[in-house]
Structure 1
Amino acid sequence: MSERTSVHTKQSSPAELGSRPIGRLLMQYSLPAIIASLATSLYNIVDSIFIGRGVGAMAIAGLAITFPLMNLIVAFCVLIAVGGATVSSIFLGQKNIGKATDVVNNVILFCLVHAIVIGSITLIWLDPILYFFGATDETIIHAREFMRVIALGTPVSYVFIGLNNLMRATGYPRKAMISALLSVAVNVVAAPLFIFVFGWGIAGAAWATILGQFSAFIWVLAHFLSKKSFVHFDPHRSFCSVSLLKRMYSIGMSPFL
């Protein structure tokens, strides 16, 4: 056994997925995901309270208008994030660590490409899109102010979501949960500060969201830059694989739709 393989065996790794009881693995991987989802849902409620009390009822209406657009933006990220996580799991099941590493490199690249394209389209046609989703002359002011910040932050959001899915798929469900909780915690602290203290209005809530995601982005990026991680970033591996992109698209298309 090579030195690299022996080191990885001692560490937390996806190798346990092929040997441990399924029920135990289900609890180990699902509970952190459930906790992270609950925390995110609770944050959305708290964030709405901050906006309602700090900006006003019309701002809540403007925020509601942005939900379909934000879901659409996230969908293009899921296309790569879920597809990449699944493909990496397949390669790890085949014990092909090199190909799983290629997935990390390609997820980072294609998340950035998607973010730049989708973020630019959103910023260029923001008003027509918001009017299409039901904005009025009164609500579009708040919706526009919020979505401009969110659109500018798409590169951070996309890479965070993409790498967070990969982190869970490569054997680190608890670390993936921590990254989601970190994002929520920073959000909850920053939102009232930006809204009430700095007086940034609904844009302050958006900046708090991006700041929270940036904190989690640093967390997941540090994980994949560390050679102690079972699968980690390798600048010498493939960065732009058309075959990998096709596989990620084909698998990610279902959750995308």
Structure 2
Amino acid sequence: MGTEDIKSLVLKLSIPSIIGMLANALYNIIDRVFIGQGVNEIAIGGVYVTLPLMFIIMSFQMLASVGGSTLMSISLGEGNRKKAEQFLNTSFLLCLILSILLPTLFYIFADNLLNIVGSTPENHQYAKDYFDIVLFGAPAIIIGFGLNNFIRASGDSKAAMNTILIGVFLNAILDPIFIFGLKMGVKGAACATVISQYVSMIWVLMHFVKGKHALNLEPKYMKLDKKAVPLILENGMPLFLINIANAIVTSIITLSVRKYGGTLGISVLSIVGSVTNIFFMPLFGINQGVQPIIAYNYGAKDYERLSKAYKIGALYATYICVFVFLIIMIFPYQISSIFLNKNADPKLLQMAAPALRKSMYASIFLGVSITGTSFFQAVKRPRIASTTSLLRQLLILVPLVYIMPMYYGIDGVWYAYTVSDFVSSIIVFYFLFKIFKLVKIECEQEGDIL
């Protein structure tokens, strides 16, 4: 990562990451499509209600693993293999602990949690049936996805992509079998997801057991080191906060939609959320491809390469933003209809298609903005990364979701996305201009980065 052509390296790492992130998003979206076709439109909303709780589980996985994988990349860039291996094993132990604690707590309080995040009397049982089963897959999510971040950060993005693809393809095969063949409805979709996640986790563990990774899982390093843990948590905090913010914002939006659009409105939100999630995944995939390049060259103090890596990543992300923007503006009805069967309420399609457009008007700015947050994290600016993430996801969007529906009804929710995306992007542009100057100075100074 310190010598290869930057453009080729960005493509080499980003394309598998994009495919992997898209595949990751398809875990839940495939469920919703099959549920919409095989159950009903209310069940789509019920499954969507569980999303904030799954965001929380993913956020803790990222807290334990993403920070450690970033620090591993920096350590490898400095030529310090022992330190890199320590970060890997400490993160793995954190993931093991979380994989026991989180599912247990969530299962005990499932009914109350689902009510808090916005379920309705009509869709609550669908949500409960789905959530109770997918919780059994939470350990596979935390451990499997956690270790997969280290595979990706070491530069083996193809293996990281395969981890996700294995689960997605298996889920796509099992979903129709459980939903249509065995007529298990949302429970069948949940079972298919859990089985797929455990198969993916086994694949990841085999990658380490067979010695295919640059580093090893070593029991002697598998401890909560008082120096490593704070660094891991600090560097994992931005993505942790992004997902916690996603959970909070998704819940608030669901509650607002429930107030102004009822149970049918939540089903519309499920469609909008599914489509926008697919849109964001390629951007996050570019982030995951570019971030280890930036982190490695930051550790090596090569400003020219890290700067070029970010700019190329941001450019590719912008291309994706423009392409997706045009697709959604031109084909909103066709996209929305994928989630509905022929017996669905016609009103749902008439609500969903315009909602897609209204929520995406400022999406073309997000290429530079979202990759900017990844840049801040890679150059050890976790506080700025956290702040810029919270601006878009929480500090700007949440007040707008409360205020705008008072004047525009349920449409106010969709417009809130657009306003938040635009304002937060301007703020990220400012920080990028400032931090690039500071990073250049740091790369010219003597001594290690860490």
TM bracket (short chain): 0.7 to 0.9
Equivalent residue number for residue 79 of structure 1 = 63
Question: Are residues 1:65 and 2:43 paired?
Answer: no
- CA shift for structure 1 position 182: 0.8
Distance between the aligned counterparts of 1:46 and 1:152, measured in 2?
19
One of 16, 24, 28 as aligned partner of 2:12? 28
Q: Secondary structure at the match of 2:221?
A: coil
One of 10, 17, 25 as aligned partner of 1:41? 25
Equivalent residue number for residue 138 of structure 2 = 154
Q: Is the 8 A contact 2:93 2:222 kept in 1?
A: no
Larger deviation: 223-232 or 65-74? 223-232
- CA shift for structure 1 position 28: 1.1
Equivalent residue number for residue 183 of structure 2 = 199
Q: Identity percentage over the alignment?
A: 37
- CA shift for structure 1 position 228: 4.1
Deviations 1:171-196 (A, max 9, x none): 21111011111111111011111222
Q: Is the 8 A contact 1:157 1:210 kept in 2?
A: no
- CA shift for structure 1 position 139: 1.3
Equivalent residue number for residue 85 of structure 2 = 101
Alignment CA distance shift 1:27-1:137 (3 Å)? same
Q: Is the 8 A contact 2:208 2:216 kept in 1?
A: yes
Distance between the aligned counterparts of 2:218 and 2:114, measured in 1?
40
Q: Secondary structure at the match of 1:242?
A: coil
Distance between the aligned counterparts of 1:238 and 1:69, measured in 2?
28
Distance between the aligned counterparts of 1:237 and 1:77, measured in 2?
19
- CA shift for structure 1 position 199: 2.6
- Amino acid in structure 1 at the alignment position of 2:114: L
Q: Is the 8 A contact 1:89 1:170 kept in 2?
A: yes
How high is the TM-score relative to the length of structure 2?
0.51
Alignment CA distance shift 1:30-1:222 (3 Å)? same
Equivalent residue number for residue 152 of structure 2 = 168
Equivalent residue number for residue 164 of structure 2 = 180
- CA shift for structure 1 position 72: 1.9
- CA shift for structure 1 position 83: 0.9
- Amino acid in structure 1 at the alignment position of 2:143: V
Stretches of structure 1 that go unaligned for 5 or more consecutive residues are: 1-16
- CA shift for structure 1 position 236: 3.4
Q: Secondary structure at the match of 2:227?
A: helix
Larger deviation: 114-123 or 33-42? 33-42
One of 103, 114, 123 as aligned partner of 1:139? 123
Larger deviation: 236-245 or 73-82? 236-245
- CA shift for structure 1 position 42: 4.3
Question: Are residues 1:117 and 2:111 paired?
Answer: no
Deviations 1:19-71 (A, max 9, x none): 22222211111111111222333454332121122222221121121112211
Cα root mean square deviation, aligned: 1.6
Deviations 1:90-137 (A, max 9, x none): 221122222222223222221121122221221111111111111122
Q: Secondary structure at the match of 2:120?
A: coil
Equivalent residue number for residue 233 of structure 1 = 217
- Amino acid in structure 1 at the alignment position of 2:40: G
Q: Is the 8 A contact 1:223 1:232 kept in 2?
A: no
Distance between the aligned counterparts of 2:83 and 2:197, measured in 1?
28
Question: Are residues 1:224 and 2:208 paired?
Answer: yes
Distance between the aligned counterparts of 2:226 and 2:166, measured in 1?
34
Distance between the aligned counterparts of 1:41 and 1:163, measured in 2?
18
Alignment CA distance shift 1:155-1:136 (3 Å)? same
Alignment CA distance shift 1:150-1:45 (3 Å)? closer
Alignment CA distance shift 1:73-1:228 (3 Å)? closer
Q: Is the 8 A contact 2:35 2:44 kept in 1?
A: yes
- Amino acid in structure 1 at the alignment position of 2:138: T
Q: Secondary structure at the match of 2:155?
A: coil
Distance between the aligned counterparts of 1:80 and 1:55, measured in 2?
37
Q: Looking at both structures, which has the greater relative contact order when contacts are Cα pairs under 8 Å and sequence separation is at least 6?
A: 1
Distance between the aligned counterparts of 2:23 and 2:222, measured in 1?
35
Distance between the aligned counterparts of 1:61 and 1:170, measured in 2?
38
Alignment CA distance shift 1:42-1:153 (3 Å)? closer
